Structure 1
Amino acid sequence: MASGLFALLDDVAALSRMAAASIDDVGAAAGRASVKAAGVVVDDAAVTPQYVQGVAAERELPMIRKIAVGSLRNKLLIILPAALLLSQFLPWLLTPILMLGGAFLCYEGAEKVWHKLRPAEHAPAAADRAQAPQSPEEAERTMVSGAIRTDLILSAEIMVISLNEVAAEGFWSRAAILVVVAVGITVLVYGVVGVIVKVDDVGLALAQRPSAAAQRVGRGLVKGMPKVMAVISVVGTAAMLWVGGHILLVGAEELGLAAPYDAVHHVEVAVHDALGSAGAVAGWFVNTLASALVGLLVGALVVAAKSALPASVEAKLSH
């Protein structure tokens, strides 16, 4: 009887070790998948604070919470089932879909560059949108809905990139990994966004303290945040072009058009071999720069094609 009990306990311990190992494997795979989606994550964190600009301070965090819940709903209830079914029954479609998402990222990045270069061309459209009278509640609902719609596209790209990294795993492993990615990235992105949008309030509170040191820190935070947001925006744009371009290069190679990726890889290897100990970093930089240039070129072509469309069609696409 005792030996049977000990055998049962051994079996339970073995199962516990297997479960722990499986959890570790899921966590590690989720981490690798999340790293591949880093460029989109940075852009997501850079875009979201724009939706709460000009909002009363007490409504900032509630709005971010609503957007975060909508983002999680997008990932778990819409994108995850579709991605799993696709990977299970039509896995050959993953690369073309990933490339379409990459092209969209390139377009978004190139459009942001164009807006920076020619801001006056986009001011009238912004002014027209601002003329529509809305109550504060309606305006908040509109902004939250717009943010969740934008998030749907970014979340789809994050999930597909992550899925592509774990496509060789079993069905339930893929599901578990993507759930971890969805929850982890949502918490990370909107946690960071929540901190970003409240730094100004923290700075103002510190600036009103009697301590001279606290006042200096507070004024520094208030003055520094616009610069931080500008840096985040630039990094987000660069990340979109880099990730989008890299997706297109790798996807083209997988579909049989290997020449563009081979050319980049040859330059990367040549730089790596020529610079010795610094070669790894330099090679990565060459690959990243080449991917970003490809992304900028493809994105510029898409922006040009969109601008050539009739105004009514372009307006529908923009909404």
Structure 2
Amino acid sequence: MAAISDTMRAVVAEGHGGPDVLKVVRRPVPQPGEGEILVRVKAAGVNRPDVLQRQGGYPPPPGAPDTLGLEIAGEVAATGPDATRFPVGTPVMALVPGGGYADYAVVHESNALPVPAGLSLEEAGAVPETYFTVWTNVFERGRLQPGETLLVHGGTSGIGTTAIQLAKAFGARVIATAGSREKCEACLALGADLAFNYRETDFVAAVKEATNGKGADVILDMVGGDYIPRNYEAAARDGRIVQIAFLKGSRVEVDFRLLMLKRLTHTGSTLRARSVAEKALIARALEEKVLPLLEKGRAKPQIDSTFALEDVAKAHARMDGGEHIGKIVLRL
């Protein structure tokens, strides 16, 4: 292994605003504490929460570094006291509360996973945030079962491409919404049974027609706004709606009668602020249920584009433009 330097490159937001506020600075290399590992980062995924942090709407939780980045892949460079799971040199991917856009990042070993055979480190860098999010929301909170119908909004986002693949792998039927013909075709190529362009099609009517009037059993929504009452209409009786973001806003007027009449469950969650122990439980579930799918090629992170760390502003501009299909990844 190469020697560990005293300082490293790290990306911070100098102020709040567009991609131009992102700067590469020098920071001390963090030291792993009890049960933690130091990872020499080779790839870091770019996610919507990173954009929100850059804009000033999603500050790091207490104790997390102000360096951006929530998911990494690389090699273990050093271990802290009582960290025994991953020896130095082991390829790992990990969910971090911050600090991912840097040459080195510290993470508790329980929040890291081995890189599945057949995945490059760039692909592994696109796994943790989306796979942790989809698993805990679609399968744990949403309780998606084989044979049920999942409606995924934003089907070509990192979350959407992951949800489509995992839902199909576990025997569900998938309907996706996306904003163009090209994006709908990408959803179908990933395994979605149907995909609708929300700019041209009323997804409520389309979902009801596709399910013979029943509706979707689980809806994964990152849009919010006026999608919330429309999700209630598109949901099946005893349906579960899982909210993970509010791209169109979190304040909306809703008639809750459908919630009662259809016996709906509307839940939601965030991931970043959860405890190390909570994230560790998700990691163990992924290791048992999902890593075998990645190893067999039955699911695979979809990489839209990669950028050097120095081009982080271009990576964020790509995400802001909304034309990406799959994940945007920084190379280190």
Query: TM-score, with normalisation over the residues of structure 1?
Result: 0.23
Looking at secondary structure, tell me which structure has more strand per residue.
Answer: 2
Q: Which has the higher contact order (CA 8 A, sep 6+)?
A: 1
Scaled by the length of structure 2, the TM-score of the pair is 0.23
Q: Give 1 or 2: higher helix fraction.
A: 1
